[in-house]
Amino acid sequence: MSMAYEEYIREIVKPMRAELVNAGFKELTTEEEVENFMNTVEGTTLVIVNSVCGCAAGLARPAAVTAVQNSAKKPDHLITVFAGQDKEATGKMREFFTGFEPSSPSMAILSGKEVVHFIPRDDIEDHDVEEIVSNLTTAFDKYL
């Protein structure tokens, strides 16, 4: 791919990255960052597998931000990886999602390294933000 194309894509996804980062999510962009985080993680983590698609923009990101902001119970860590952009980081994070097909966008609640709740694209796409927020906050109440 040309450098011009790569730079164009980096610019296009900046606001998509910023939406979660500005809401307190830590973005892991390399395989090493994911390994370092997962090797030392304690407590609970909400992981958002971000994406450029419309259901990420209109549903997943707004639902994740709303759920975290409005829930009485909050994960200890908020993490995001970006599918299609940070491929190695996303691939490494997905290694921890044992038993779940790769899906983007998607959301996982982890207790330590174990996935205790997973929301695949199928439970995001064609649902409304309120349903996804409810899915997350119900899981927060159960697992956090």
Give the residue numbers marked as catalytic: 53, 55
Neighbours of 133 (CB within 10 A): 21
Concatenated DSSP letters for 9-51?
HHHHHHHHHHHHHTTTPEE--SHHHHHHHHHH--SEEEEEEE-
Which backbone phi and psi does 21 adopt, to 5 degrees? Answer: -60, -45
Cβ neighbours of residue 18 under 8 Å, at least 6 residues apart? none
Which backbone phi and psi does 120 adopt, to 5 degrees? Answer: -80, 170
Cα distance from N-terminal residue to C-terminal residue, the chain = 43
